[in-house]
Amino acid sequence: MSAMELSLKSKIVAVVVAAFIGAVILRTFVIEGFIVRGDSMHPAIESGDYVFVNKLAYLFSEPKRGDVIVAIPREMPKKILKRIIGLPGERFQISGGVIILKNERTDPGQVLVETYLDDPSTLTEGATTIVLDPEEYYALGDNREVSIDSRELGLIDKWDIKGKVFGVFSFSRFSYKNF
């Protein structure tokens, strides 16, 4: 083998190694993707859809109501995919199948309009009042009848939010949707 062939092979190996290291760093710290299992986010995200998660989304900003997030809650040591409903410091009530945002205990409140839901009914046992601490979020699945979410798992701490969903690819419909 000539020196030129060895040089070309070493350059190819260097490019492959650099690409692999770059992909590992990107996957570990910036973007993650995985296939969804379960119907808790129907109709926005279906079981079998591939979601793309921005792990740096909340590095310089705070999660907002309506964001679809990936989190690892206190009571379940595995990733869940849910929509943020309650923000830090808020007071709200779930009663009669609706979420009522309140400024204070005696405030009659305002019903949260959730246009992304097929069935906006949020079932609970009686009326439930929630007051969030400064670093806590309340997250629910869009398919409230089957979702295991903050109603069962408890509140989501800010540091347990692993990223924000920014896109979904559906294999069954062969389509991509931005979030």
Residue-wise pLDDT for 55-109, tens only, equals: 999 999 999 999 999 999 887 888 999 999 999 999 998 888 889 998 887 888 8
Q: How far apart, in whole angstroms, are the C-alpha atoms of residue 11 and residue 2?
A: 14
Domain boundaries, the chain: 36-171
Q: What is the CATH number of domain 36-171?
A: 2.10.109.10
- Model confidence pLDDT, tens digit, residues 16-45: 888 888 888 887 788 999 999 999 999 899
pTM score of the predicted model: 0.84
| 120 backbone dihedrals φ, ψ, rounded to 5° | -75, 5
> Which residues does 132 contact at the CB level (< 8 Å), separation at least 6?
86, 87, 88, 89, 90, 91, 138, 155
Q: Which residues of 42-55 are buried (b: 16+ CB within 10 A; e: fewer)?
A: bebbbeebebbbbb
- CB-CB contact of 165 with 57 (8 Å): no
Burial of 6: CB neighbours in 10 Å, binned 0-12, 13-18, 19+: exposed
